[in-house]
């Protein structure tokens, strides 16, 4: 079969890497891909911001399966268009992808279906922001309503800072059109959890859980990013908690979307805060997370193609996945200045030495390849990942690999999975 992956980041490299292991695939494409992905799949040009461009690519490839990596093509309706043309495609429709495309939609949906989440206010003007802030205690979470590549969330230490952030979002200077509406939320305390399930519109099957590290600096300091690293172990959630999350969050979301006429197929990423009051929803993503996908897929031992087809065909079951009991971790190496302004075109060295370390796989997120040399081409450049029987060993292997890799301005967190290892 011919399989097409849409996207160009570390998540897509992990998907391509895992799909490549399937004996069922005769030809694997990725569009537009990146320098590292080109070693595992044939990369084709496409504009992921343009629906016509993606449809034209589909007509060229005639894929037996398309896997949509990033959120923007989903919110543009690529699943609707591919399905209408008879091309099997994995992911939610445009209507279902509202869960990620609009934070205000997601919050109101959660309230309608009595799914636990933080108290919130939806604001369309600074006057509404000032009125709503009177109801909150500091710190206050300020979120841009639309898609902002993981950078539209600010935890404001004071109400004054919250008002200032909201004003910057409304101005368009901070996150562009994503900030034309703002959501204020109470700041929840606890451990974050990334809980993903596979859905066929009715049934759900959980994937192994992971924990992301969103802040740019060690000790969860600095601004939010798209994610600086993640890990996955059997200890993150026990069976009882996993079942609770399925029955009280994931299933009610899928059932609620169907009841509202927007059947949800694909991966549902539930970003949760494990609080003293119980698990509460922070956000939804309508696709595999990045960088959580890297450690999650490193632990997957069954055929990913079979699971994706089960979602499309409406026959999802817990038997779709077979998981390793090993731990896996991903450390993101970013460009100097990220998540702010950064330069590209920096030569990357040491990739072969890093990949030679036992259990390590280096996923490319923002790279290009010119004449056999790799160069930086994005904010998050590489996802250095490792799998081992123990989390501590996986972390050591990943950081050993990171130390082998060099480019001007490179930086990464030194404490990925640190809290988990302290607890063990």
Q: Which of 285, 320, 355 lies at the terminal end of a domain, its last residue?
A: 320
Q: What is the 3-state secondary structure (H, E, C) of the chain?
A: CEEEEEECCHHHHHHHHHHHCCCCCCEEEEEECCCCHHHCCEECCCCCCCHHHHHHHHHHHCCCEEEECCHHHHHHCHHHHHHHCCCCEECCCCCCCHHHHCHHHHHHHHHHCCCCECCEEEECCHHHHHHHHCCCCCCEEEEECCCCCCCCEEEECCHHHHHHHHHHHHHCCCCHHHHCCEEEEECCCCEEEEEEEEEECCCEEECCCEEECCEEECCCEEEECCCCEEEECCCCCCHHHHHHHHHHHHHHHHHHHHHCCCCCEEEEEEEEEEECCEEEEEEEECCCCCCCHHHHHHHECCCHHHHHHHHHHCCCCHHHCCECCCEEEEEEEECCCCCCCCCCCCEEECHHHHHCCCCEEEEECCEEEECCEEEECCCEEEEEEEEECCHHHHHHHHHHHHHHCECCCCECCCCCCHHHHHHC
The number of distinct structural domains making up the chain is: 4
Query: Does some domain include residue 260?
Result: yes
Query: Does some domain include residue 35?
Result: yes
Query: Does some domain include residue 110?
Result: no
Mean pLDDT by 10 residues, the chain (424 residues): 98 98 97 96 98 98 97 96 98 96 95 96 95 95 84 89 93 77 95 95 96 94 92 95 97 97 97 96 95 98 96 91 97 96 97 97 97 96 98 98 98 94 74
Q: What is the pLDDT of residue 147?
A: 82
The pTM score is 0.94
Q: Which of 130, 159, 186 lies at the terminal end of a domain, its last residue?
A: 186
User: What's the CATH number where 175 sits?
Assistant: 3.30.1490.20
User: What's the CATH number where 389 sits?
Assistant: 3.90.600.10
Judgement on whether residues 274 and 298 belong to the same structural domain of the protein:
yes
Q: What is the pLDDT of residue 210?
A: 97
Phi then psi dihedrals of residue 239, to 5 deg:
-60, -40
Q: What is the pLDDT of residue 224?
A: 85
Query: Does some domain include residue 31?
Result: yes
Judgement on whether residues 242 and 297 belong to the same structural domain of the protein:
yes
Judgement on whether residues 227 and 174 belong to the same structural domain of the protein:
no
Q: What is the pLDDT of residue 59?
A: 98
Query: Does some domain include residue 114?
Result: no
As beta bridge partners, residue 247 has: none
Q: What is the pLDDT of residue 13?
A: 98
Judgement on whether residues 366 and 259 belong to the same structural domain of the protein:
no
Q: Which of 49, 74, 90 lies at the terminal end of a domain, its last residue?
A: 90
Judgement on whether residues 181 and 197 belong to the same structural domain of the protein:
no
Q: 33: domain range?
A: 2-90
Give the separation between CA 98 and CA 79, rounded to whole angstroms: 13
Q: What is the pLDDT of residue 424?
A: 62
Judgement on whether residues 245 and 316 belong to the same structural domain of the protein:
yes
């Amino acid at each position: 079969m011919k399989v097409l992956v849409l996207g160009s980041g570390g998540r897509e490299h992990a998907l391509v890497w895992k799909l490549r292991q399937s004996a069922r695939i005769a030809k694997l494409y990725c569009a537009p891909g990146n320098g590292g992905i080109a070693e595992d799949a044939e990369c084709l040009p496409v504009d992921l911001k343009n629906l016509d461009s993606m449809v034209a690519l589909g007509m060229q490839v005639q894929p037996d399966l398309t896997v949509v990596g990033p959120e923007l093509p989903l919110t543009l309706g690529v699943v609707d268009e591919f399905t209408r043309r008879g091309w099997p495609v994995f992911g939610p429709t445009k209507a279902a992808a509202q869960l990620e495309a609009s934070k205000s939609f997601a919050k109101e949906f959660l309230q309608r279906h009595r799914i636990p989440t933080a108290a919130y206010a939806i604001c369309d003007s600074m006057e509404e922001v000032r009125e709503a802030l009177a109801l909150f205690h500091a710190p206050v979470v300020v979120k841009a309503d639309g898609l902002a590549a993981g950078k539209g969330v600010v935890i404001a230490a004071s109400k004054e800072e919250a008002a200032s952030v909201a004003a910057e979002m409304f101005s368009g200077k901070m996150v562009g059109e994503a900030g034309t509406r703002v959501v204020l939320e109470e700041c929840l305390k606890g451990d974050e959890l990334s809980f993903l399930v596979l859905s066929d519109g009715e049934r759900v099957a959980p994937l192994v859980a992971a924990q992301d590290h969103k802040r740019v600096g060690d000790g969860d300091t600095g601004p939010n990013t798209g994610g600086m690293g993640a890990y996955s172990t059997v200890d993150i959630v026990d069976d009882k908690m996993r079942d609770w999350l399925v029955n009280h969050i994931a299933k009610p979301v899928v059932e609620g979307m169907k009841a509202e006429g927007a059947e949800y197929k694909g991966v549902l990423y539930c970003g949760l805060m494990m609080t003293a009051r119980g698990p509460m929803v922070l956000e939804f993503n309508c696709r595999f997370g990045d960088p959580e996908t890297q450690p999650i897929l490193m632990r997957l031992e069954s055929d990913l193609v079979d699971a994706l087809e089960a979602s499309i065909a409406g026959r999802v079951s817990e038997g779709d996945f077979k998981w390793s009991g090993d731990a896996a971790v991903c450390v993101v190496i970013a460009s100097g200045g990220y998540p702010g302004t950064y330069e590209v075109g920096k030569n990357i060295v040491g990739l072969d030495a890093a990949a030679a370390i036992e259990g390590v796989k280096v996923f490319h997120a923002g790279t290009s390849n010119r004449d056999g040399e790799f160069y930086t081409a994005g904010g998050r450049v590489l996802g250095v990942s490792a799998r081992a029987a123990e989390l501590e060993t996986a972390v050591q292997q990943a950081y050993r690999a990171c130390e082998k890799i060099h480019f001007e301005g490179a930086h990464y967190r030194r404490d990925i999975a640190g809290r988990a290892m302290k607890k063990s």
